[in-house]
Amino acid sequence: MSEIKCPNCGKTFQVDESSYAVILSQVRSKEFEKDVHEKLEQVSREYQSELKLAMEKLEQAKRDRENEVKLAEEKIRNEMQKALAEKDSEIGKLRLSNSEEIASLKSLLKNADVEKSLAVSEALAKVEKERDQLKNDLKNKDTESKLHEQTLKEKYEGALQLKDEKIEQLKDLKTKLSTKMVGETLEQHCEIEFNKLRATGFQNAYFEKDNEVSASGSKGDFIFREKDENGTEIISIMFEMKNENETTATKHKNEDFLKELDKDRREKNCEYAVLVTMLEADNELYNTGIVDVSYKYPKMYVIRPQFFIPIITLLRNAALNSMKYKNELIAMRNQDIDVTNFEKDMNDWKASWLSTMKNAGKKHLEAIEQINKAIKDLEKTRDALILSDKHLDAAENKLDNLTIKKLTKGNTTMAKKFDEAKRGGGENNESNEDRG
C-alpha cells in the first residue's frame, strides 16, 4: 500500500500497487501528452508568427523603399530647382554685369571705335562661354540625378528581391534542403545536425543507426535514447527517414510507412516514433509544421527535416517535466518499500530470535533431562550407600555380639583350649601382682 497526498486539499489516501500503476500511467500520459500538445501548438504559433512577421517586414520594406524613392526624387528635384535658381541668379548677375560693361563700352566707343569693337567681341565671347558652361553644368546635374535615382532603384529592387526570395524559402517546405545538404542523403543530414549538438546539448544521449533486425525482419533507421545521471531512461525515439526523387514514377505517401514504424517502435521498446519525410511535397498538412498522428498510432509524429532537432528538444523537455512527477511517485514507492523491508527485516529477526530461543529451550530441556537422569543415578548411589551403611551396622552388631562362648559352643576342643589359656593367664597375673 502507498500513501498519496492531494496537492489541493492536503488529504492523504492509500493506494495499492494496481492503483499506483494507474496513477503513474495517468501522470505519464495525461500530463505528458498535455505538455506535448501545448508545445506543438506553441511551435506552430511561433512558426505562423514568424511567417506573418516576415510578410509584415517585407511590406514595410516595400513601403520604405517607395518612401525612399519618393524622398530621393523630391530631393533631386529640389536640388535641380535650387541649381537652376542659382544659375538663373548667376545669369542675371552676368546680364547685369554685361549691361554695365556694354554701357562702359559705349562710353569707350565714343573715344575709340576699334577698342569698342574688340571689347564687345570679348564680352560677347565671355558671355557665350559662361552660358555654355552653365548649360553643361545643368546637363551634368541632370545626369547625376538620373544616375542617383537609378542607383537607388537598383539598391531597393535588390533588397526587395532578397526579401521575396526569403519569403519563398519560408513558404517552400516541400523538397528543398539547405545548401549544407547538397549531395547528402536525408539520413546523413539528420545525423550531422544531431552530432553538431551532441557535445553541448545531448551529452548523455545515444543516437545511432538501428542495425539490429527484429524478429519480424524489419528495423528503423535511427534510435535516440537519453538517460539521467542515475542511469534512468528519460526518453527514447524511433526515427524513420523517407525521401524520393521528383522523377520517381511511383509516388509514395507518408501513411504507407506509419504502420511499419509503429511496429518497429514497439519491438525496439521505444517510447515515441517520428517519421522524417520529404514525401508528398505539396501536401500543406505536412508543410505547416509538426504533425501529430497519435490519433491513429500512439505517440507518433510526422515532420519535415527542418523540425528534426526541435521535435527531439520538444519531446525531451516534456519528458523531463514528467520525470518530476514520476520521481515523486518512485520516492513514495521507495518509502513504502523501505517500510516493507524494515518490517520484513524485523520479522526475519523475530523469527531468527524465536528459532534461537526455541533451540535454547530445547537444549534447556535436554539439560534438565540430563540433570534428572543424574539425580536418579545419584539417588540410586545414595540408596546403595544407605544400604551399605545398614550392612556395615549389621556387621558391626554381629561383631559386637561375637564371644568366645558363642564361638566355642558345640566345639569341645576349642572350649578346652580357651579355658586353659584363661587359667594360665590368671596365674601369671597373680605372680605379677606378688612381684609388685
Q: Helix axis angle, 32-111 relative to 308-400, nearest 10°? A: 150
**What are 151's three cell numbers?**
542607383
Tell me if 352 sits within 8 A of 262, measured CB to CB: no
Q: How far apart are CA 150 and CA 232, in angstroms?
A: 66
Tell me the sheet residues that pair with 206. 225
132/155 same-domain check: yes
The length of the chain is: 436
Q: Of the given ranges (35-39, 243-247, 325-329, 391-395), which has the lowest mean pLDDT?
A: 243-247
Binning pLDDT at 50, 70 and 90, where does residue 265 land?
very high
Tell me if 242 sits within 8 A of 277, measured CB to CB: yes
237/213 same-domain check: yes
Q: Is 99 among the domain residues?
A: yes
Binning pLDDT at 50, 70 and 90, where does residue 402 land?
low
Where does residue 305 rank: exposed (0-12), middle (13-18), buried (19+ CB within 10 A)? Answer: buried
The helices-and-strands tally (H runs, E runs) of the chain is 9, 8
Question: Which residues fall within 8 angstroms of residue 327, CB to CB, at 6 or more apart?
Answer: none
Instruction: Note the pLDDT of residue 314.
Output: 92
Residue 85: is its pLDDT beyond 50? yes
Q: Is 359 among the domain residues?
A: no
Instruction: Note the pLDDT of residue 258.
Output: 93
Instruction: Note the pLDDT of residue 164.
Output: 72
Q: How far apart are CA 336 and CA 244, in angstroms?
A: 55
**Domain range spanning residue 115?**
50-171
Residue 263: is its pLDDT beyond 70? yes
Binning pLDDT at 50, 70 and 90, where does residue 132 land?
confident
Q: Is 227 among the domain residues?
A: yes
325/205 same-domain check: yes
Residue 56: is its pLDDT beyond 60? yes
Q: Is 247 among the domain residues?
A: yes
Instruction: Note the pLDDT of residue 182.
Output: 35
Rounded mean pLDDT of 292-320? Answer: 92
Instruction: Note the pLDDT of residue 22.
Output: 65
Where does residue 95 rank: exposed (0-12), middle (13-18), buried (19+ CB within 10 A)? Answer: exposed
**What are 337's three cell numbers?**
518499500
60/17 same-domain check: no
Q: How far apart are CA 280 and CA 357, in angstroms?
A: 80
Q: What percent of the chain has pLDDT over 70?
A: 76
Rounded mean pLDDT of 21-49? Answer: 72
Closest CA to 235 of 171, 151, 321: 321
Cell 495517468 maps to which residue?
A: 26
Instruction: Note the pLDDT of residue 247.
Output: 47
Instruction: Note the pLDDT of residue 257.
Output: 92
Binning pLDDT at 50, 70 and 90, where does residue 215 land?
low
Three-state SS at 203: coil
Q: How many domains does the chain have?
A: 3
pTM of the model: 0.39
Rounded mean pLDDT of 34-51? Answer: 78
Q: How far apart are CA 59 and CA 344, in angstroms?
A: 75
Binning pLDDT at 50, 70 and 90, where does residue 167 land?
low
Residue 183: is its pLDDT beyond 50? no
Task: Choose the most confident range, by mean pLDDT, from 111-120, 163-172, 194-203.
Answer: 194-203
Instruction: Note the pLDDT of residue 181.
Output: 42
Q: Is 88 among the domain residues?
A: yes
Instruction: Note the pLDDT of residue 73.
Output: 77
Kindly state the helix (H) or strand (E) to which residue 92 belongs, with its residue range: helix 32-111
**What are 216's three cell numbers?**
519480424
Q: What percent of the chain has pLDDT over 90?
A: 14
161/271 same-domain check: no
Rounded mean pLDDT of 17-37? Answer: 67
154/218 same-domain check: no
Cell 535511427 maps to which residue?
A: 222
Tell me if 300 sits within 8 A of 306, measured CB to CB: no
Among positive and negative, which fits the CA dihedral 88, 93, 94, 96? positive
Residue that is last in its domain, among 171, 201, 216: 171
186/167 same-domain check: no
Residue 52: is its pLDDT beyond 80? yes
**What are 357's three cell numbers?**
530461543
62/96 same-domain check: yes
319/189 same-domain check: yes
Residue 389: is its pLDDT beyond 70? yes
DSSP 402: -
Average pLDDT of the residues of the chain: 77
Residue 371: Cβ within 10 Å count: 10
Task: Choose the most confident range, by mean pLDDT, from 5-9, 86-90, 377-381, 431-435.
Answer: 377-381
Instruction: Note the pLDDT of residue 300.
Output: 95
Residue that is last in its domain, among 308, 332, 356: 332
Q: Is 93 among the domain residues?
A: yes
What is the end-to-end Cα distance of the chain in Å, rounded?
Answer: 121
Residue 270: is its pLDDT beyond 80? yes
β-sheet with 291-292: strand ranges across: 205-209, 222-227, 233-242, 272-277, 300-303, 291-292
118/264 same-domain check: no
Q: Is 341 among the domain residues?
A: no
Instruction: Note the pLDDT of residue 407.
Output: 65
Residue 329: is its pLDDT beyond 80? no
pLDDT tens digits for range 333-358: 777 777 777 778 888 887 888 888 78
186/306 same-domain check: yes
**What are 263's three cell numbers?**
511496429
Instruction: Note the pLDDT of residue 5.
Output: 67
Cα 307 to the center of its chain, rounded Å: 18
Rounded mean pLDDT of 293-300? Answer: 93
Q: How far apart are CA 209 and CA 239, in angstroms?
A: 9
Higher pLDDT, 434 or 194: 194
Tell me if 267 sits within 8 A of 214, measured CB to CB: yes
54/41 same-domain check: no
Binning pLDDT at 50, 70 and 90, where does residue 240 land?
very high
Rounded mean pLDDT of 117-138? Answer: 71
Instruction: Note the pLDDT of residue 111.
Output: 66
Q: Which amino acid is at 73?
A: E
Higher pLDDT, 119 or 14: 14
DSSP symbols for 277-339: E--STT-HHHHSS-EE-TTTSTTEEEE-GGGHHHHHHHHHHHHHHHHHHHHHHHHHHHHHHHH
Q: Is 161 among the domain residues?
A: yes
Instruction: Note the pLDDT of residue 378.
Output: 84
